[in-house]
Structure 1
């Protein structure tokens, strides 16, 4: 069985299948904010979608993070490290990339177990 959350004609924000939850790349709800605030916004969405799917941040297995500039890594990591469960961290990649809009500084995609 596959369960999809917040779907439109292009994608679903979250998909549950085979004991996993797959989150789409999530961006901040207000992209006029700085990197720390955008990161916190995305992490809150991750918490919300994981909870809806029956999972949690402690069950994340893989995370991909895109930043528009690696100069934002310090601010992002500050927020990430205060949010992630100590000692229960996923595999993670962080890369620099153009994102959907010039104001979008960060996008995060998560895979977790249920």
Structure 2
């Protein structure tokens, strides 16, 4: 079985596709100076673009792990998340409070999806 890696550097690949399954590395916001809603939206915009590049989309998400810096932002993050996930296509999801790689980051997500077929 082949493993396809895209945007590969020393530390990680942004996309890995194996056995018709897409694995995305953790995605963060485009602008870490913004609040939780804006960070969540631009993070999910990145997920959209990577899923399309990998031959998938948000209707084919299987699993998502959300890392949030502070659970006080859980409700606002979920407001953006719920509007983004297509009705009837919610992935299995975990959300945990976590220390981030940079202090200004408020949220990160890692997604696994099926290739559209």
Task: Please tell me the TM-score bracket, short chain as reference.
Answer: over 0.9
**TM-score calculated relative to the size of structure 2:** 0.95
SS at match of 1:75: helix
Q: How does 1:22-41 map to 2 (within 5 A)?
A: 22-41=23-42
| Runs of at least 4 residues off by over 2 Å | none
Q: CA deviation at 1:87?
A: 1.4
Asked whether 1:69 is paired with 2:75, we answer no
The total of aligned residue pairs comes to 114
**TM-score calculated relative to the size of structure 1:** 0.97
**Which sections of structure 1, spanning at least 5 residues, go unmatched?**
none
Q: How does 1:76-91 map to 2 (within 5 A)?
A: 76-91=77-92
Q: CA deviation at 1:55?
A: 0.4
Which residue is 2:109 aligned to? 108
Provide the C-alpha distance between the structure 1 equivalents of 2:88 and 2:22, rounded to a whole number of angstroms: 21
Provide the C-alpha distance between the structure 2 equivalents of 1:81 and 1:68, rounded to a whole number of angstroms: 19
